Structure 1
Amino acid sequence: MSRRVLIKTLPLHTNYGGIVQAYALQRAIRDLGHRAVVDTGDPISLRRRVLHRAWAVRRAVRMLLPARVDWDWRASREVLAPQQSFVRRHLSRASAVERADTRRGRARLARRFDTFVVGSDQVWRAAYAEIPEQFLEVIEEFHGPRPRRVSYAASFGRDDIDEYSEAERARATELIRRFDAVSVREESGIGICADAFGVHAERHLDPTMLLTPGHYRGLVARARTDPTPAAGRTLVYRLDATDDMLRAERAIAERVGAPAMELLPTASPGSYGEYAADRARFDRPSVERWLASIASADFVVTDSYHGCVFSILFNRPFVVHANARRGAARFDSLLGVFGLEHHRAGASADGIDDRVFTPDWSHVNRVLEAERARATAYLVENL
């Protein structure tokens, strides 16, 4: 039976991985015959909603004014346009949760959808998310039959919940115990669910890995994007630069014998005038070019979780500098699933394991197929 599914995830702004994981989970659920939409809003008061609408009108008016006016917000908007274009073209979105700020609104929300799915990404990390809302508090406070509540590959980002306040921990415990099924992305998440909340959880792949490399190459082809922008290059996909990481990137590029190519711009425009004078310096790649770059690189050096995910998915040799500030537990769990722990780099390139240059992709792909089948079975059973 086809069900109406609402996917609750984090806001889709500048994070390539966050955008693609939302797309992939929606697509995977639709491929199972259900109707799925993505909701990244939070329940807000009527007053805040009116203020938001007023701000949106003001912004629209300003966009019609001459481009020579140097507004920082306008430069940022144009820099992010390729990513937001992907969101508009490929994701079905709703702002249903944002409007559920009354008892009647919450009841209407619960009637509109049969199943609510929380995931993926770091939706259960207090530093990034509104914790009661991300445990579906919005559909608690009304009387009547409640829709199914499940999570898929929800991530705490860390191996603890020390970022939670006592109130958040207590409320999260109440809410998660009402879920029909709990799926987390990291092994450490299983322990957190058991020890902190007293619930059973399963570990599953990030939703981006539910789709095949061929599917993503199809997105690239339909967008008429160059499928090999990083061929013959060592692709550097870096979120946070450190001196040690920069030294390691240079050493790896020399060892691979392929010059380094930066995937992201290294600067942000200070004004619209600065941006307009040199757009190529500041523009971010489209989602399709981002995918094609990883898929075509000779070697990938990254500190991004999804940079690591897509290196594995596209069978590209890689090393990853686990970004502790953004959550290191994610990397350990992902690499452990595929037996690729040696691809985690230290501060220097000197100690890099030679196996990173010739991965056993046959083994990796067999594990991927088995994990994908297990994840699909979970969704079939619990949606």
Structure 2
Amino acid sequence: MKKVGILSMQRIANYGSFLQAYALKQLLEQQSCQVEFVDYHVERPIISEYSDRKNPIVRKLQKGLETFKYHAPLSHKLAFITYKQSFAKKYLPLLGITEKMNYTPELDCLVIGSDEVFNCIQKNSNVGYSLELFGKDNRAKKLISYAASFGNTTLEKLQEYDKIEEIGELLKKFDAVSVRDKNSGSLVTTLTSKEPEYHLDPVLAYDYTGCCKIIPDMRSTEKYLILYAYSGRISDKEADWITAYAKRKNLKVYAIGGIQKCADRFIDCSPFEVLAYFQHAEEVITDTFHGSIFSIITHRNFVTIVRKSLGNSYGNEEKLTDLLERLGLRERIAMGITETETVLSRDIDFAAVDQIITLERERTRSYIGNQITQIL
């Protein structure tokens, strides 16, 4: 049995990070691998802020206090803080992860991905800048990536911060590179002169609705709309529009993943319960990558709000546009909140989407299977 490590964002308190990690672990175990998660050392972000120089405990405290600045009910804020503080203890053991960090173990194969593992030019101090995410100092016989993403990191940003040569040299040492979006693929080709393979995010590649027996059957006594977005991402104007829209549709607003001004309820639940809530939602409004994916695999009527990247600020345009175009769902994009009602009025041909996903799942099995069997 081959010993395989996954180096990803598995310790981030985030439903998408958890479910993509769980899914990739399942895909590897289906190839009869012994799987463990590998940690990396978090260094200071390339784009530094004043808060990055503060003690981690002080930063964590400030992050908690920041929650109270958001426009949302006090009970939701307290529930959100509890959700964040308890996430690791509750759910990481389900991945086989303990409090003890697992740095540079000896492995037959190290798989880097999925998620934004290559997003090195950013300011998130929880992720930082780590060359270990590009395979540095690994002790594996074979090094590959799976559906890795550069996120908002572009060639221009790599040039600006003089990281092209450093990142390029590390990428050239991979035995195989798999990415999940065009921006990432273009960067790999530019930096290594090699074409990477393209694969779907593990949450799509693994058949959660068909294979995962942990998803509970949860039904609400009321009809609801899921708003899946991070805290502070939905503006007051957008929240007011959603409130009015949900009222017209006679739907309650369930906030998952973050607290929202317009939410009737903030849902604190397990990652698998998230999928159960999606399965019974009337509609979904999201501006996230995994919120879109959860909607797709549960066949929900959804709209994805796309935001352009401006300077070093958050933007989701590259990864969301690429994902939805790849699945034939570009019409689910709204460039502003007022476009969402029109998008939600359109039917989705999920039969056509499922055909694409079925073919891509076979490509994923082939890629992973071939890489594992080639280990000496």
Show the counterpart of 1:345. 334
What are the residue-to-residue correspondences of 1:191-206 with 2, within 5 Å? 191-206=186-201
- Flag the structure with larger Rg: 1
With the length of structure 2 as denominator, give the TM-score of the two structures.
0.76
| Partner secondary structure for residue 143 of structure 2 | strand
Show the counterpart of 1:89. 94
Show the counterpart of 1:38. 37
Across the aligned residues of Structure 1 and Structure 2, the Cα RMSD in angstroms comes to 3.3
1:234 aligns with 2:239: no
Which sits farther off after the overlay, 18-27 or 286-295?
286-295
Over 3 Å counting, the alpha-carbon distance change for 1:20 and 1:173 in structure 2 is same
How much has 1:288 moved relative to structure 2? 2.5
1:263 aligns with 2:268: no
Give the whole-Å Cα distance in 2 for the aligned partners of 1:330 and 1:21: 15
Give the whole-Å Cα distance in 2 for the aligned partners of 1:323 and 1:230: 34
Give the whole-Å Cα distance in 1 for the aligned partners of 2:297 and 2:235: 26
How much has 1:13 moved relative to structure 2? 2.8
Q: How many residues align?
A: 325
| Partner secondary structure for residue 113 of structure 1 | strand
Show the counterpart of 2:277. 293
Give the whole-Å Cα distance in 2 for the aligned partners of 1:326 and 1:350: 18
Write out per-residue CA displacement over residues 298-320 of structure 1, whole angstroms, 9 at most, x where no aligned residue. 10001121000110011101001
Give the whole-Å Cα distance in 2 for the aligned partners of 1:342 and 1:251: 23
Give the whole-Å Cα distance in 2 for the aligned partners of 1:288 and 1:114: 30
How much has 1:214 moved relative to structure 2? 2.5
Show the counterpart of 1:176. 171
Is the 2:9–2:17 Cα contact (8 Å) retained in structure 1? yes
Over 3 Å counting, the alpha-carbon distance change for 1:315 and 1:286 in structure 2 is same
| Partner secondary structure for residue 117 of structure 2 | coil
Give the whole-Å Cα distance in 1 for the aligned partners of 2:293 and 2:81: 27
Which sits farther off after the overlay, 365-374 or 255-264?
255-264
Over 3 Å counting, the alpha-carbon distance change for 1:248 and 1:169 in structure 2 is farther
Show the counterpart of 1:372. 361
Over 3 Å counting, the alpha-carbon distance change for 1:322 and 1:166 in structure 2 is same
| Partner secondary structure for residue 362 of structure 2 | helix
Give the whole-Å Cα distance in 2 for the aligned partners of 1:169 and 1:84: 38
Richer in strand (by share): 2
| Partner secondary structure for residue 168 of structure 2 | helix
Which sits farther off after the overlay, 326-335 or 293-302?
326-335
Show the counterpart of 1:63. none
Is the 1:231–1:296 Cα contact (8 Å) retained in structure 2? no
Over 3 Å counting, the alpha-carbon distance change for 1:203 and 1:265 in structure 2 is closer
Write out per-residue CA displacement over residues 125-165 of structure 1, whole angstroms, 9 at most, x where no aligned residue. 0114424211111138xxxxx61110000001137244436
1:243 aligns with 2:236: yes
Give the whole-Å Cα distance in 2 for the aligned partners of 1:118 and 1:316: 30
Which sits farther off after the overlay, 205-214 or 343-352?
343-352
| Partner secondary structure for residue 371 of structure 1 | helix
Percent sequence identity over matched residues?
23
Over 3 Å counting, the alpha-carbon distance change for 1:23 and 1:129 in structure 2 is farther
Over 3 Å counting, the alpha-carbon distance change for 1:81 and 1:359 in structure 2 is same
| Partner secondary structure for residue 355 of structure 2 | helix
Structure 1 letter corresponding to 2:224:
R
Over 3 Å counting, the alpha-carbon distance change for 1:353 and 1:338 in structure 2 is farther
Show the counterpart of 1:49. none
Show the counterpart of 2:47. none
How much has 1:34 moved relative to structure 2? 0.7
1:315 aligns with 2:299: yes
Is the 1:318–1:356 Cα contact (8 Å) retained in structure 2? no
Show the counterpart of 1:118. 112
1:19 aligns with 2:13: no
Over 3 Å counting, the alpha-carbon distance change for 1:320 and 1:365 in structure 2 is same
Give the whole-Å Cα distance in 1 for the aligned partners of 2:110 and 2:92: 20
Over 3 Å counting, the alpha-carbon distance change for 1:358 and 1:199 in structure 2 is same
Over 3 Å counting, the alpha-carbon distance change for 1:310 and 1:350 in structure 2 is closer
Over 3 Å counting, the alpha-carbon distance change for 1:213 and 1:9 in structure 2 is closer
Is the 1:159–1:329 Cα contact (8 Å) retained in structure 2? no
Over 3 Å counting, the alpha-carbon distance change for 1:363 and 1:133 in structure 2 is same
**Which of 173, 183, 189 pairs up with 2:184?**
189
| Partner secondary structure for residue 209 of structure 2 | helix
Over 3 Å counting, the alpha-carbon distance change for 1:147 and 1:260 in structure 2 is same
Show the counterpart of 2:62. none
Richer in helix (by share): 1
Is the 1:335–1:341 Cα contact (8 Å) retained in structure 2? yes
Is the 2:228–2:258 Cα contact (8 Å) retained in structure 1? no
